[in-house]
Structure 1
Amino acid sequence: MEFTTKLSDTMNYLDKKLDVVGNFDLVYRTFYVAGKEACIYYIEGFTKGEVWQKLMEDFASIKPEDMPPDAHEFSKKYLPYSQVGLVKEEEAMIKQLLAGISCLFIDGYDKCFTLDCRSYPVRSVSEPEKDKVLRGSRDGFVETLTFNTALIRRRIRDPKLTMEIMNTGESSHTDIAVCYFKGRVDEKLLATIKERITKLHVDALTMNQESLAECIYPYKWFNPFPKFRYSERPDTAAASLLEGNIIILVDNSPSAMILPSSVFDIIEEADDYYFPPITGTYLRLSRLVISILTLYLTPLWLLFMQNPEMIPNWLRFIRLSEQPQVPLFFQLMILEFSIDGLRLAAVNTPSMLTTPLSVIAGIVMGEYSVKSGWFNSETMLYMAFVTVANYSQSSFELGYAFKFIRMMLLVLIALFNVWGFIIGFILSICAVVFNKTIAGKSYIYPLIPLHLKELKKRLFRGRLPHKEKQS
């Protein structure tokens, strides 16, 4: 439906369509501009009141003989504001109104004046809890899209940086920003991503980026390794853009989706670059080794305990000091589930109770569970290492991928002994090798296909490239 020049008809239609009486936060106000009736609609809590106060003062000075016959002329002459638009259709107007944009109607004009004077509720830009660094910037993304794009723009002041706004969700109409650097991005992948977002037919992105990820790339569910990298750090997002990646920002989400992402991209962290090359290389290699240990440590230990004759002399100390009352396989599986239970409990525990409850849980789970015979001390030791070491890398998705592979290995070893470990090892390697990024490339490039120069960059932190300024 298109608007008419008669304001009363427009108001009657919008009052019924928007249920203005029933929605207390949907505010409208009528007044006069040069003798003509006018009305503004806005959402309470989204609008800057001082902007409209200044505009009202300007409207009061307009004389009837100065009113132009065309809405475009009125907009140019009497709306001295940076973000003003004209909308003809009611559907587009309602979508913008519910997004927080103020809408102005004046009797005699068949268009709606839209003014973007939004003021979103927002928390402070502080360091994210998960992606902390020892050295570097302490700002992080928030739930407001425009703030997040500004944090990236602050770091990359180049006209080639492009941020396209898109919209999806039949009910939510969620704003999505697709960010890329012209000349460095994979144009084919970019076109594919934008096409998939455009063709999305969902009611709402209830889980923000996770809902979007599942819609634009419905990969095989049984492969647990993540296809996307998530970061709450603007510096990480800016560095990824300069490397040719695509960043997707979703309104109401305080993190950036980085794609395409390989396993080497996901393991990388900002600390690798905030320290000198030798320190960054050490951090990167130690994180890689620890990640492998979290995957194979407990399965290998269970295999040795089931086959004591396989233990070499220099590893005799890993033998059990006491006979287990509960089979080792069940001990390890119970601890795997118990640790997740404690993790979920920690998330829902009030901060003032976290420390005392952690002490109680540590005493009960550690000392008394060993004394009661439920667990051996060696089992507790190795599972404690795996649990703590799992946080050496910041990706929750990758951590759970390692966990699922580790549990699969434990089950296979318990059922088929040595052959179970061989089968599980082959399956774990295949899960990585035959995995593909969203761009269709190898998940472990540059290892497969082998590219030695690029592999060296992935494993060893070199000096950042620089160009000398030409005179």
Structure 2
Amino acid sequence: MPDLKRVATSVKENVAYVNQVLPVKKSFDLVQRDMVIGGREASFFFVDGFTKDESMLKIMDSFFGVKEEDMPDSATGFSRECIPYVEVDTISEFDQVFRNILSGVTCLFIDGYEACLAIDCRTYPARSVEEPDKDKSLRGSRDGFVETIVFNTALMRRRIRDPHLTMEMMDIGESSRTDVALCYMSDRVDQELLENVKNRLQSIQVDDLRMNQQSLAECLFKRKWFNPLPKFKFTERPDTAAACLLEGKVVIMVDNSPSALILPTSILDMIEEANDYYFPTMTGIYLKLSRGLITFLTVFLTPVFLLFMQNLNWLPEVFAFVAIKDTVNIPLVFQLLILEVAIDGLRLAALNTPSMLSTPLSVIAGIVMGEFSVQSGWFNTEVMVYMAFVAVANYTQPNFELGYALKFMRLLLLILTALFNWMGFLAGCIIVVCLICFNKTLSGRNYLNIKLN
């Protein structure tokens, strides 16, 4: 519940209440600094590590020059006449005071003023603005989002110098009070979508956003467990986010998260990337078509191969060479399922392998999984070839969640085909089409950008 207690005129009463609520005496990083300004008692409260020492030294030096007869009658007058700094605000409720202190803002209480002076001279620890590892492009800018929301909004504001660019800030989470920025172009955005997103954000009742952006996404849209398709598009590139804003979409930034959440989205948005726009039109179209074809093959290549191996009489003579020649002890469907799990195991191992060992371990894994597994009689050569293509083709997807959604669809097709032959394959295809057509996003449209009732 918000703290509705108001700031008193007595600095001793205010300081006592702050010390009662915040563990100033126990936490080493919560600092209280007492001083005299213009003959009046005053106290600073701030978080050590968030405050710019150079700025605070200059501000405090100016305070020592304020004489008693020069003290204004109100906190607003003091902020206008005696604080030589840009970002200064007056706060009258302790709920906002505590929120500002814990966010890194320096709060000043002066005896006789029925308000707190919030001086925003904070600085957050942040890494450098560099190109993200996932969303790389051969051309274009090399900057990327970081974990500080102010830097991220500045990267988009630098690209769009339009008065219609609006960035609304709000905080979500009773304990975490995580900063969330809602960004949109007021003259281009779908107003119905914007109001829907605003209402959902304002109605979120949650203790904290412990996983930052993912926690917010789960609060915004309760996904159905049986539909693995992602509801949102994520990007770590500010140029991509700026382009989406100019297309009339809504971008949501979450503090401590180095990516932007983009609404609305469709299957076509999911499979596109920055390289599609940094090359000539013909090249961009070719890249989109090739990525779409590869996406299709990642889902249907191995299930179709399994279907034809179960019905060799359906196989045209021109494709007779794809038939399995060698006989192994493990049925074909189990070979495919084992390799699906093994590929994920190698991927997880690569994430947790130290960089200095990644190359030799990759060579060992390639030899063991490739040549030795075939010679030992576990897998057929054809199965290894097709699964190698699927494993590599998954990395053509810029969206990580979509890659796993396609994987689950492929597993569903494999299992149904193995159990019910062509009827199972047909049923699996119908299920895949239904998942795409009836996957409702936050905008009320499906993955094909068709309005759903």
Match in the other structure for 2:194? 190
Match status 1:296 vs 2:311: no
For normalisation by structure 2, the TM-score amounts to 0.97
Match status 1:135 vs 2:139: yes
Provide Cα deviations, 1:171-190, integer angstroms capped at 9, x if missing partner: 00011111111121110110
- Determine what percentage of the aligned residue pairs are the same residue: 57
Report the residue type matching 1:266 in the other structure: M
Match in the other structure for 1:366? 370
Match status 1:27 vs 2:31: yes
1:129-278 map, 5 Å: 129-278=133-282
Match status 1:389 vs 2:393: yes
Q: Distance in 1 between matches of 2:434 and 2:72?
A: 71
Q: Distance in 2 between matches of 1:397 and 1:298?
A: 20
Provide Cα deviations, 1:181-210, integer angstroms capped at 9, x if missing partner: 112111011001111110100011111111
Secondary structure in structure 2 of the residue aligned to 1:380: helix
- Is the contact made by 2:166 and 2:183 (CA closer than 8 Å) also made in structure 1? yes
Match status 1:331 vs 2:340: no
Provide Cα deviations, 1:313-371, integer angstroms capped at 9, x if missing partner: 11111111211211111111111111111111111111111111111111111111111
Q: Distance in 2 between matches of 1:235 and 1:344?
A: 30
Secondary structure in structure 2 of the residue aligned to 1:154: helix
Report the residue type matching 1:275 in the other structure: F
Secondary structure in structure 2 of the residue aligned to 1:41: strand
Q: Distance in 1 between matches of 2:156 and 2:117?
A: 31
Report the residue type matching 1:442 in the other structure: N
Match in the other structure for 1:409? 413
1:52-201 map, 5 Å: 52-201=56-205
- Structure 2: state its 5+ residue gaps: none
Match in the other structure for 1:281? 285
- Give me the CA root mean square deviation: 1.2
Q: Distance in 2 between matches of 1:313 and 1:433?
A: 36
Report the residue type matching 2:86 in the other structure: S
Match in the other structure for 1:469? none
Match in the other structure for 2:434? 430
- Structure 1: state its 5+ residue gaps: 450-471
Report the residue type matching 2:139 in the other structure: R
Q: Distance in 2 between matches of 1:66 and 1:135?
A: 58
Q: Distance in 2 between matches of 1:83 and 1:55?
A: 12
For normalisation by structure 1, the TM-score amounts to 0.93
Secondary structure in structure 2 of the residue aligned to 1:164: strand
- Is the contact made by 2:62 and 2:84 (CA closer than 8 Å) also made in structure 1? no
Q: Distance in 2 between matches of 1:435 and 1:35?
A: 66
Report the residue type matching 2:319 in the other structure: L
Secondary structure in structure 2 of the residue aligned to 1:191: helix
Secondary structure in structure 1 of the residue aligned to 2:159: coil
Secondary structure in structure 2 of the residue aligned to 1:425: helix
Provide Cα deviations, 1:61-110, integer angstroms capped at 9, x if missing partner: 11111112221111111012111011111111001110111101112212
Secondary structure in structure 2 of the residue aligned to 1:175: strand
1:220 deviation in Å?
2.0
Q: Distance in 1 between matches of 2:201 and 2:358?
A: 41
Match in the other structure for 1:400? 404
Q: Distance in 2 between matches of 1:166 and 1:65?
A: 40
Indicate the larger mover: 197-206 or 60-69.
Answer: 60-69
Provide Cα deviations, 1:136-183, integer angstroms capped at 9, x if missing partner: 111110000001001101111100111111111000001111111112
Secondary structure in structure 2 of the residue aligned to 1:141: coil
Q: Distance in 1 between matches of 2:380 and 2:260?
A: 43
Sort the Cα spacing of 1:2 and 1:285 in 2 relative to 1 into closer, same or farther, 3 A: same
Provide Cα deviations, 1:275-331, integer angstroms capped at 9, x if missing partner: 000110110100000000000000011111111111111111111121121111111
Report the residue type matching 1:53 in the other structure: L
- How many residues were matched structurally? 448
Indicate the larger mover: 312-321 or 277-286.
Answer: 312-321
Secondary structure in structure 1 of the residue aligned to 2:342: helix
1:331-350 map, 5 Å: 331-350=335-354
